[in-house]
């Protein structure tokens, strides 16, 4: 007895020191961020207060203040009132001490409110010393990654267990101390040493000493240079902003982050554990809640708005289930995002990935069956694989799940069969219902027949609050405005253009022929004198002069051809077009090349092919060549650029022609968007009407053609099939 006990106490003491170092090093890194953030935040608060009229102080005091004399003295904003202070306010004729006290108290309350809500935006195009200091401070934590957070959490969990054992084993740390201790203390010390050894063995098996040591090294390592920090920020801005929101306390409203779920469901989700062993990326609070929701509810639709990281949440669920011992997972998605899915899983987890696509997909399927991992395949390919036995697949993830809303389609039937054989199912879609609530009910039916059957048409029309409560067990949705306070601004501009004489001639020909699709693209039929094309070239030219990248969307390949030829003639650095005919892997490479191009560039894309799955946040200007029949198509396309990770404000230009089909489609879009907002987004009152729900796109197109023929005094055939 002696040497072994002393060694155990020494190991425990060193482990305690390592854990304390992790906590201290992380604390210093966080303090550095707060110190860099403070002056930026204070300046943002001052700007906000300087923009608030002094008259707003009346609102805070319910109209009790007399501000006439103060405003007449030149103090016209809340910021000016605060800067003036009590002495200057007291010098204003007619202003007494009571008014001064009340005015400043009201101004401070407004200042506190602004301080709580103001968002800090980091301008990547105009780095200043203050923002550079903030980016460098954040870089330390981002570069340290989730392992540093894991080390911090483990250190905090370990300390309450380790400290009492070290205190109890204290006499065993030295021979003399042990000799001087009484019999009872020696016995207690030996017991503590045995428990300490068991704890040390446990931490060794978990790899905690190495984890603590590496975390401290990472937390003390800064960026090589300011340039390196800024480059990393632009590449991983979502992680930087996520940390910034956490450290600054600017977390989103809790109810919004939890999708306004009923209390009993939200409480169950909060208590769901989330294992991060196989995950390589940190989650934002709302993302962690989303992953827990999937785990707690087992079969669900994750309907988060585009750009909120549904893929990351799915990977978090996969990683958790893998840590629990599950070995086989299936991801079903459009061909256009196969590459993106495999990249994301590989980059953000330690899970094995297999792509089941192409001529070798059956061999890959056999490999997956034998060895496990995350299989990624397409809707069509899934039909060629045998459905699993019960319990064989830990989770099936269906991306862009609105693609299987039609129960008669073979792809829907294949997904439904797999969903029925799996204990856990995750449907992912930012657009769970495009025109009909009934289609959303069809999706829910694959997950929970009881919930689906309870959703009658009458329930849907009763209002969105009732509808959302009814689907809460299987449906979670959050919106960008509610949870991404740092997302740069999104500015929509409808560019109304008068048709040129050749444009008008082409439009009349299309109306006379009753050809709806030709009517929609008539504005580009005479490119030499196209009003829309001229405006598009101006937008791209302006973006280029400002060093910005542009994405141009159209429903029509021939419109993209016309656009490409015009922009090429202007000398634009052109990429694309991305169309449905471009293989999935090639689409991702085109987007990557576009993102990596130095300086201004233009990517042209068919809106259905480019608006699904691909991330285009390198672009800060979006042009939509013509309005789309479905609001969700435009929304998806814009969200490819305006999403988590975007570091610049995004401007969206929708090119519209006056007096014809575009005006009618815009009116339809407004009605459909209200329906979508009423049910898929948060809304207090449903504004849907039966005809807004039930009229099909084909019928709408036919109606538009007939109305335009009547307006122009024509009669003719009608070809109204929508795209």
pLDDT digits (tens, 9 = 90+) for 446-478: 999 888 887 765 554 445 667 777 888 999 988
Instruction: Please report, for residues 146, 148, 155, 211, the alpha-carbon distance to residue 215 in angstroms, rounded to integers and kept in the order given.
Output: 10, 5, 11, 6
Predicted pLDDT of residue 692: 30
* 246 φ, ψ (degrees, to nearest 5): -65, -45
Q: Which residues contact 116 (CB under 8 A, 6 or more apart)?
A: none
Predicted pLDDT of residue 207: 92
686 pLDDT more than 60: no
388, 391, 397, 403: CA torsion to nearest 10: 50
Task: Find the range with the poorest average confidence among 111-125, 491-505, 685-699.
Answer: 685-699
Model confidence at 106, pLDDT cuts 50, 70, 90, reads confident
SS3 content of the chain, % helix, strand, coil (to 5): 60, 10, 30
- Sign, CA dihedral 123-128-129-132, equals positive
Domain ranges of the chain: 1-250, 251-482, 487-711
Q: What is the pLDDT of residues 602-646, one digit of tens each?
A: 999 988 775 555 566 778 888 999 988 876 677 777 776 766 666
Q: What is the pLDDT of residues 182-228, one digit of tens each?
A: 666 777 778 888 898 899 999 999 999 999 999 999 998 877 788 88
101 pLDDT more than 70: yes
| CATH of the structural domain 251-482, one choice from 3.40.50.10810, 3.20.130.10, 3.40.50.10380, 1.20.120.520 | 3.40.50.10810
507 pLDDT more than 70: yes
pTM: 0.66
Q: What is the pLDDT of residues 296-332, one digit of tens each?
A: 999 999 988 766 889 999 999 999 999 999 999 999 9
How far apart, in Å, do the first and last CA atoms of the chain sit? 84
Q: What average pLDDT does the segment 684-692 reach?
A: 29
Residue 74 gets the label, from left (phi > 0), alpha (psi -120 to 50) or beta, of left
Model confidence at 494, pLDDT cuts 50, 70, 90, reads confident
Predicted pLDDT of residue 386: 93
Pick the residue with more confidence: 155 or 586?
Answer: 155
Fold match, 251-482 / 487-711: yes
> Could you check whether the bond before residue 91 is cis, i.e. omega within 30 degrees of 0?
no
**Residue percentage of the chain with pLDDT more than 90:** 36
Please state which CATH class domain 487-711 belongs to. Answer: alpha beta
16 pLDDT more than 90: yes
Q: What is the pLDDT of residues 128-165, one digit of tens each?
A: 899 999 999 999 999 888 889 889 999 999 999 999 98
Pick the residue with more confidence: 260 or 270?
Answer: 270
Model confidence at 685, pLDDT cuts 50, 70, 90, reads very low
- CA-based diameter of the chain, in Å? 112
Model confidence at 347, pLDDT cuts 50, 70, 90, reads confident
Predicted pLDDT of residue 623: 92
């Amino acid at each position: 007895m002696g040497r072994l006990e002393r060694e155990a106490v020494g190991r425990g003491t060193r482990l305690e020191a390592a854990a304390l170092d992790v906590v201290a090093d992380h604390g210093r890194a966080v303090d550095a961020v707060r110190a860099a953030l403070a002056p930026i935040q204070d300046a943002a608060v001052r700007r906000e207060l300087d923009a608030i009229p002094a008259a707003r102080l009346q609102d805070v005091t319910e109209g009790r203040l007399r501000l006439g004399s103060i405003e007449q003295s030149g103090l016209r904003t809340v910021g000016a009132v605060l800067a003036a202070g009590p002495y200057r306010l007291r010098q204003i004729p007619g202003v007494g001490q009571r008014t001064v006290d009340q005015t400043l108290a009201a101004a401070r309350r407004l200042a506190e409110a602004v301080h709580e809500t103001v968002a800090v935006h980091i301008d990547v195009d105009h780095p200043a010393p203050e923002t550079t200091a903030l980016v460098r401070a954040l870089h330390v934590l981002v570069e340290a990654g989730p392992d540093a957070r894991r080390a911090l959490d483990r250190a905090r969990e370990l300390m309450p267990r380790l400290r009492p054992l070290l205190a109890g084993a204290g006499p065993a740390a030295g021979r003399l101390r042990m000799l001087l201790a009484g019999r009872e203390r020696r016995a207690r010390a030996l017991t503590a040493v045995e428990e300490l050894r068991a704890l040390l063995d446990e931490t060794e098996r978990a790899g905690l000493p190495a984890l603590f040591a590496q975390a401290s090294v990472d937390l003390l390592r800064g960026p090589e240079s300011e340039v390196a920090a800024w480059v990393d920020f632009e590449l991983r801005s979502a992680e930087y902003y996520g940390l910034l929101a956490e450290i600054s306390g600017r977390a989103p409203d809790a109810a919004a982050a939890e999708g306004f779920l009923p209390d009993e469901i939200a409480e169950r989700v909060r208590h769901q554990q989330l294992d991060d062993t196989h995950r390589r990326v940190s989650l934002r609070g709302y993302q962690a809640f989303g992953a827990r929701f999937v785990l707690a509810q087992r079969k669900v639709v994750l309907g988060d708005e585009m750009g909120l990281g549904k893929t990351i949440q799915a990977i978090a669920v996969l990683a958790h289930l893998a840590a629990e011992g599950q070995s086989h997972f299936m991801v079903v998605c459009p061909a256009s995002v196969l590459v993106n899915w495999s990249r994301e899983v590989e980059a953000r987890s330690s899970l094995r990935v297999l792509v089941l696509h192409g001529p070798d997909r059956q061999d890959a399927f056999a490999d997956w069956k034998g060895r496990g991992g995350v299989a990624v395949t397409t809707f069509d390919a899934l039909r060629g694989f045998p459905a699993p036995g019960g319990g064989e697949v830990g989770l099936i993830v269906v991306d862009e799940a609105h693609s299987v809303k039609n129960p008669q389609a073979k792809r829907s039937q294949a997904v439904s069969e797999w969903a029925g054989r799996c204990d856990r199912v995750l449907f992912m879609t930012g657009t769970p219902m495009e025109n009909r609530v009934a289609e959303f009910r069809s999706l829910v039916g694959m997950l929970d027949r009881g919930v689906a059957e309870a959703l009658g048409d009458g329930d849907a029309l009763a209002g969105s609050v009732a509808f959302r409560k009814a689907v809460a067990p299987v449906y979670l949705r959050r919106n960008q405005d509610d949870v991404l306070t740092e997302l740069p601004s999104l500015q929509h501009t409808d560019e109304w253009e008068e048709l040129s004489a050749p444009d008008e001639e082409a439009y009349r020909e299309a109306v006379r022929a009753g050809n709806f699709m030709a009517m929609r693209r008539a504005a580009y039929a005479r490119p030499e004198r196209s009003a829309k094309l001229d405006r598009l070239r101006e937008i791209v030219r302006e973006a280029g002069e400002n060093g910005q990248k542009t994405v141009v969307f159209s429903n029509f390949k021939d419109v993209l051809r016309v656009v490409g030829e015009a922009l090429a003639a202007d000398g634009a650095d052109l990429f694309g077009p991305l169309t449905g005919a471009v293989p999935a892997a090639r689409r991702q490479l085109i987007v990557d090349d576009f993102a990596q191009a130095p300086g201004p560039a233009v990517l042209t894309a068919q809106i259905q092919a480019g608006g699904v799955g691909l991330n285009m946040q390198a672009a800060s200007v979006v042009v939509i060549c013509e309005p789309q029949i479905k609001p969700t198509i435009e929304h998806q396309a814009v969200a490819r650029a305006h999403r988590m990770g975007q570091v610049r404000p995004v401007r969206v230009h929708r090119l519209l022609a006056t007096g014809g089909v575009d005006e009618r489609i815009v009116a339809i879009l407004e009605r459909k968007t209200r329906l979508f907002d009423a049910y898929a987004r948060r809304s207090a009152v449903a504004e849907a009407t039966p005809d807004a729900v039930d009229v099909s796109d084909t019928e709408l197109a036919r109606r538009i053609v007939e109305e335009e023929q009547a307006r122009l005094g024509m009669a003719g055939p009608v070809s109204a099939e929508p795209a």
